[in-house]
Structure 1
Amino acid sequence: MVERIRRAFSAFPDGRKGGNNQKYVIEDAGLSAFSVFFTQSPSFRDYQRRMQTQRGRSRTQSLFGVHQIPSDNQIRNLLDMVPAETVYPLLADIGEQLYRYGHLTPFRVLDGQLLIALDGTDCFASEKVSCPCCTQQERRDGSILYRHIALTPVIVAPGQSRVVPLAPEFVQPQDGTEKQDCELNAAKRWLAAWGDRYAAWGVTLLGDDLYCHQPLCEDALARGFHVLFVCKPDSHGVLYEWVSDFERTGDLQTLERTTWNGRQRLTERYRFINQVPLRNHDDALLLNWCELTVTDTKGKEVFRNAWATSHYLHADTVVAIATAGRTRSKIENENNNVLKNQGYHFEHNFGHGKQHLANLLATLIVLAYLVHTTLDWIDVCYRTVRGLLPSRRTFFEHLRALLQYLSFESWDHLLEFMLDELEGKIPDTG
């Protein structure tokens, strides 16, 4: 895995003009930055302090294959010239390997579909620091907020604790247009870049109400995706007028069932109809609509949401389709929340730069998360060590402490040491 990352980083564009200022190679800068995020260090400087050793070799050299370690400022300067898009093929390649070797098979639902959830999230905001990639938000008091917003697609599934991050797409100024970029346009660019690859897998796209927009839905359907987007009354008045008409005529289908959530019995009520227009126009796209309302034993409503989808709805499929729609929340809970609040410091300013640095470092954080997810699948020693510790946070606390005080020749050496000290044993799988 380290060698695959090194090969990808060696292709980073190097904007230096040559001469005596090229002591460090570009992949060493990339690997040094990646190693910060892989170990969930809170800062470049803190990480370097932890990694240094008096034994003639840095831990970054032995574990990540870095030949010469640049300073934190040198890392930022070197990587500022590297567009985030340079890392996207590496992210896609890792996902492709997981798909090819069957690791995504348990994620298939709705007669073999994979679910890719789309959502945008902030990874930087400042009133003072900015770069050409920043989105500018004018506030009511006239001040400007500079933001970096990342569209972070992930593969999700009901009942699966893991999510699989895919290549992101950033909301940023586009050449040839004076308008501010937006999350919806970023989603269209992501579809243009990756639609052919992922639609061939058999994919349903999930998203909130923002994505339930006819041009985006038409684009997704034309590329071979199914869509399953949240559909709210406030933004889809015409569709809900049709739903009300069908309800008055008795043509709106309903289904009710009771479930047990481990604490109390809940009542789920589904309402659904096929072929309703997404907007008030002659060329309106016809999609299928369903709503789920959940009430507790006292009749109190505990959940309500509705979706527009290209999947045909009937009594045998509406429950599974609504369950898939609810899985969209995993992009917030198991992806964005983990990146921001579970040690990856996604919103921390590791370095903003003057060109591409902020977006590149955010992409390297996504890569670090994907690599840890992948290792949990493919490396039995890694998975066993993780299972012996009570939480992700504890695992990284142990990892950083060991790297500060001890030297290891390789990742295998480190993981075997952890397994030994935890008195663990790799299970015999035959």
Structure 2
Amino acid sequence: MRGQKLSLQNLMNHYRQRWISAPDVRKPSNNMQYRVADGILAAFSVFFMQSGSFLAHQRLLQSKQGRSNARSLFQVEEIPSDPQIRNLLDPLTSGYFREDFWYLLDELQKQQRLGAWRNELNTYAIALDGVSFFSSEQISCAKCLKRSDRSGEEHFYHTAITPVFVKPGQSQVLPLPPEFIVPQDGSEKQDCERMAAKRWLADQRPHFTDHSVTYLGDDLYANQPLCQLIAETYRQFFIFVCKPESHTGLYEWIAFLEQNGGVEQVSQRHWRGKHAEIWHYRFANQLPLRNGNDALQVNWFELVITHEGTGKILYHNSFVTNHTITADHVPALTQVGRTRWKIENENNNTLKTKGYQLEHNFGHGQQDLANVLATLNILAFLMHTIQEITEPAYQRLRKALGARKTFFNDLRALTRYMIFDSWDTLFHFMEQGLEIAPQPP
């Protein structure tokens, strides 16, 4: 079967083999009971099961029965204690796990499933946005950012950009490797979202062919250095929100063109069941993004949605892009640009509120532990999504149990009291109990 390589059992076997070679900075000694791979797999199991107590239950099973689901399901040979896990992972770098995301995404591509995220522009849309996931006045590490409040008290915090594949009408997003906003060696300036985006683009460039990606982002990203980098250096596309207050020069040009009939307009009427909406587009090509002779030429478009009966404005936003805009093309451009919100709702909000508890302090460490744990958490989210796409048993169980919370509650309850030899065995047991097992041909 084409999805077999992405089964949970195969994936955990793959990651076990890869993480066996994870860097180990410890000096060799007879006291090295746990491998770094066991620490990584153990931490990953907590995020995959969405349970901070999963390992405690598995240690109890191990002590009473001599085996556990940590080993059979997650390939953990010896279960480290929580402090030992933190010590094993702290010296690692979050960047070590980038290829673990691409292993999943490349396999989706090989199975011709990634094409479901190709949009009407014949590109893949990748939304970029920043997310904060830790803040404290007392706890800090080498990778913390710092800020002082009005009283002068210092705050330590962690943020990252969390890019995702998005598509209009597609409920699922596919997380990509995160890029953390951290103090940079040799730089007196504090790192920022824009600089992190530039690093991410450079690191991930080899994974994309020319003109295959449209990057989406808010107004923060609509600046000349980043837009020029995407368009000219990486030969990709962008659609970024563009606000008048931060692009005064551009909007002076738009006002001038409008006075002289240089802004094209298109209107559409959409019925919404009880009332109609008027979607009014305006656009113009080849405008300077900023003042100055070296300004990058961009294309601008705007959508205003009004209630036909009352005239009330329901939506208003404007964008810049390096896609050429035509009257036929502007609705598709706008639809793709508007999917930027999915990174907030379907990705960041899910990571914070749907069981992943991204903002919870699972451990901070002195080096990169906080970012490593956040990366493994996001990787677990991607693996869950991959299972929803590729694995029939996982799909049947999620459908039968309804809410995500119910599904994971059942996984946690079963693995607390029973030991399953494999994921297939666990899923088969659940399907039999729910009487949804597929009938033999």
Q: TM-score range by the shorter chain?
A: over 0.9
Cα distance in 1 for partners of 2:299, 2:153 equals 43
Q: Deviations over 1:106-148 (max 9, x none)?
A: 2111341110000110111111110010111122221111111
Structure 1 residue 198: Cα displacement? 2.2
Deviates more, 1:48-57 or 1:181-190: 48-57
Cα distance in 1 for partners of 2:18, 2:179 equals 19
Partner of 1:251: 262
Question: 2:214 matched to 1:207?
Answer: no
Q: In the alignment, is the contact (CA less than 8 A) between 1:126 and 1:145 conserved in 2? A: yes
2:344 is paired with a residue whose SS is helix
Structure 1 residue 321: Cα displacement? 0.2
Structure 1 residue 276: Cα displacement? 0.7
Which consecutive unaligned segments of at least 5 residues does structure 1 have? Answer: none
Partner of 2:54: 47
Partner of 1:36: 46
1:62 to 72, 77, 81: 72
Partner of 1:389: 401
Deviates more, 1:300-309 or 1:399-408: 399-408
For 1:77-226, list aligned pairs within 5 A. Answer: 77-200=87-210, 202-221=212-231, 222-226=233-237
Aligned CA distance change for structure 1 residues 392 and 135 (closer, same or farther; 3 Å) = same
Question: 2:341 matched to 1:341?
Answer: no
Structure 1 residue 200: Cα displacement? 4.2
Structure 1 residue 264: Cα displacement? 3.3
Structure 1 residue ranges, 4+ long, deviating more than 6 angstroms after superposition: none
Structure 2: which amino acid aligns with 1:27?
A
Cα distance in 1 for partners of 2:255, 2:211 equals 36
Q: In the alignment, is the contact (CA less than 8 A) between 2:34 and 2:78 conserved in 1? A: yes
Structure 1 residue 345: Cα displacement? 0.6
Deviates more, 1:334-343 or 1:57-66: 57-66
2:250 is paired with a residue whose SS is helix
2:208 is paired with a residue whose SS is helix
Cα distance in 2 for partners of 1:157, 1:13 equals 37
Structure 1 residue 272: Cα displacement? 0.5
1:233 to 220, 240, 244: 244
1:321 to 317, 322, 333: 333
Deviates more, 1:264-273 or 1:3-12: 3-12
Deviates more, 1:220-229 or 1:31-40: 220-229
Aligned CA distance change for structure 1 residues 262 and 143 (closer, same or farther; 3 Å) = farther
Deviates more, 1:76-85 or 1:296-305: 296-305
1:412 to 389, 405, 424: 424
TM-score if structure 1 supplies the norm length?
Answer: 0.96
2:294 to 283, 297, 318: 283
Aligned CA distance change for structure 1 residues 59 and 255 (closer, same or farther; 3 Å) = same
Count the aligned residue pairs.
426
Q: In the alignment, is the contact (CA less than 8 A) between 1:196 and 1:223 conserved in 2? A: no
Q: In the alignment, is the contact (CA less than 8 A) between 1:8 and 1:87 conserved in 2? A: no
Cα distance in 2 for partners of 1:70, 1:240 equals 59
Structure 1 residue 336: Cα displacement? 0.4
Structure 2: which amino acid aligns with 1:176?
G
1:255 is paired with a residue whose SS is strand
Q: Deviations over 1:201-238 (max 9, x none)?
A: 71100011001010001111121110100101111011
Structure 1 residue 100: Cα displacement? 2.3
Q: In the alignment, is the contact (CA less than 8 A) between 2:211 and 2:237 conserved in 1? A: no
Question: 2:411 matched to 1:399?
Answer: yes
Structure 1 residue 49: Cα displacement? 2.7
Structure 2: which amino acid aligns with 1:49?
A
Structure 1: which amino acid aligns with 2:158?
H
Structure 1 residue 197: Cα displacement? 1.7
2:278 is paired with a residue whose SS is strand
Partner of 1:311: 323
Q: In the alignment, is the contact (CA less than 8 A) between 1:294 and 1:304 conserved in 2? A: yes
After superposition, the CA RMSD in angstroms is 1.4
Structure 1: which amino acid aligns with 2:369?
L
Q: Percent identity?
A: 46
Partner of 1:362: 374
Structure 2: which amino acid aligns with 1:409?
D
Q: In the alignment, is the contact (CA less than 8 A) between 1:268 and 1:294 conserved in 2? A: yes
